[in-house]
Amino acid sequence: MSSQTIPLYQKVSEKIIRHSLDNSITAIDKLQQKLKEKGFFFIKNQVIKNYKFDFYSPHSKVAIEIDGYAHEFSDVYNLDAPKKLFISSLGITVLKFTDYQILTDIEEITRTIKTTTENIYVV
């Protein structure tokens, strides 16, 4: 089983950044509610070694990170490199979404999570 990161990076406007800052807690709560509704089992605020994930499914080895606009900057993105290497060595798939994506297209997010967890079991 290989680990992969599915980035959904896009150029971010100031409007999206402001929305992100104003609604970051709401995005986590909205995703948690939707995960429960869809029958997914994810642990909120899971720590694996020194790394924290917003959600983690030990059964499917899928972690979810909800990133704000700061992760779009190259220096912050580069700081994540050691984390990516370590987590992938454990066979964990990391899905990254922005809080804006969660707040504006939660159905697409849940489809991505479903597809990823289903593909893990196909192997």
Output the domain CATH number for residue 108.
3.40.960.10
Q: Which residues are within 8 A (CB) of 102 and not within 5 positions of it... i.e. 6 or more apart?
A: 27, 30, 31, 66, 109
Digit-coded pLDDT (tens) for 59-112: 999 999 998 654 454 555 667 778 888 999 999 999 999 888 998 999 999 999
pLDDT confidence of residue 3? 52
Residue 69: Cβ-neighbour burial (10 angstroms; 0-12, 13-18, 19+): buried
Which pLDDT score, from 0 to 100, does residue 95 have? 94
Mean pLDDT of 54-58: 95
Burial (CB count within 10 angstroms: exposed 0-12, middle 13-18, buried 19+), residue 57:
buried
CA distances from 58 to 16, 37, 46 (A): 32, 19, 10
Going by pLDDT thresholds of 50, 70 and 90, the confidence category of residue 46 is very high
Q: Whole-prediction pTM value?
A: 0.72
> Into how many domains does the chain fold?
1
Domain that holds residue 110: 5-122
